[in-house]
Amino acid sequence: MSHSYRWVIVAAGGLLGCVAIGAMFSLPVFLQPMSKETGWSVTGISTAMTIGFLAMAVASMIWGGLSDRFGPRPVVLTGSVVLASSLALASRTTSLIEFQFTFGLLVGAATAAVFAPMMACVTGWFDTQRSLAVSLVSAGMGMAPLTIAPFAAWLVTIHDWRTSMLIIAGITAALMIPVSLLVRRPPALEGHHPEMMANEPQAGMTVRQAVASPQFITLMLANFFCCATHSGPIFHTVSYAVTCGIPMIAAVSIYSVEGFAGMFGRIGFGLAGDRFGAQRILVLGLLAQAFGVLSYSFVNQIGGFYAVAVVVGFIYAGTMPLYAVIIRENFPLKMMGTIMGGTAMAGSLGMSTGPLVGGMIYDHFNGYALMYIASCGMGLAAALILLSFRPFPSRQEGALAAA
């Protein structure tokens, strides 16, 4: 049973991630209607998103640790209930500060309950095809801009933003709560299999030793700079395209092209990671990403934007799942949630820099060229940091191969 059930875990992780991230990222769709109806500033509403990223960062470590202790199911179930409830609450808020609290803090924190626990869970279920499995879960999460966001945009055309957000809260509850009940701990953690646990990478390591290890710190730094590289370009490219004279509808479609290319990127990088090793593929991906985001500054026609969006989307989405694979190869299964929560925290902090720094550069220099140059620099930093990563010396190559 357990061998085929691992694909149920992949499907559950992909669906949970798609709905959770889709719900959080429906906010940009609601920006204009909300601002018109409530009189709140676009900056004020957008701030809820920045708060959301920061809440995700802090909550990632906490949820990850809880999933190591109690298993992923109660964590993902709690996150699903909190997410649906906070979306419903946010749709009823009457002041901006109330909205920033319910949407930013609560929705952000609840969304984080899916990512690290599910990634940790999936890596534990797979000994072979691990990069592909993690990439498929990540691809499910990547479906959010192609499914939930357009659905939210359609809802807003027939209802006001409050009703639309409430409908999304209802759908979130209806999909996520039953699916989270399908999640199970990896078999190695279920019964106590001492022989399986003895073959673990760094089986004797404590969480404190793991968190202080250069390996963990290197992965956190690489993920921070990697996310900082693409966060500004993801957030500001639509705005940059509009400043180049491209109509809004066409500019937004650049996003969708990036998201669609990302689906293939995740699976392509996953297959390559299984074949050639996750670290090697990730370093190449980070180098390619640095020059990919830089090339946005050389385009000003819609065709050029689409071409760069395909490349950048393919690369940045493809790199993300490989961190989880490198973590699983180097740290014991019993602390997967905590370690992945830590790198997810660094990634969320990296993501929160882009909207802010990009906006400041634009306001100060009246253009985006410097943002793309800075992003390229951060991308090169990420590649150099990951190049310095040294896996833990393996005690039991033979035992691992036999397992």
pLDDT in tens, 114-140: 988 999 899 889 888 888 898 888 888
pLDDT at 196 over 60: no
**What confidence tier does 85 reach under pLDDT thresholds 50, 70, 90?**
very high
Question: Phi-psi bin for 71: left (phi > 0), alpha (psi -120 to 50), beta?
Answer: left
The reported pLDDT for the residue numbered 191 is 61
pLDDT at 400 over 90: no
Q: Are 337 and 64 in contact (CB under 8 A)?
A: yes
Q: Which of 1-5, 85-89, 326-330, 346-350 has the lowest mean pLDDT?
A: 1-5
Under 8 Å CB-to-CB from 401, ≥6 apart: which residues? Answer: none
* Same fold? 1-187, 199-390: yes
Would you tell me how many other CB atoms lie within 10 Å of the CB of residue 181? 13
- Surface-to-core class of residue 39, CB atoms within 10 Å of its CB (0-12 exposed, 13-18 middle, 19+ buried): exposed
The reported pTM is 0.83
> In the numeric block, which tokens belong to residue 270?
């996953």
Q: Are 169 and 91 in contact (CB under 8 A)?
A: yes
The stretch 18-39 carries a mean pLDDT of 85
The reported pLDDT for the residue numbered 86 is 96
Domain edges within the chain: 1-187, 199-390
Please determine, looking at this structure, whether the domain spanning 1-187 carries the CATH number 1.20.1250.20.
yes
Under 8 Å CB-to-CB from 371, ≥6 apart: which residues? Answer: 232, 233, 236, 357, 358, 361, 362
According to CATH, the topology of domain 199-390 is: Growth Hormone; Chain: A; (1.20.1250)
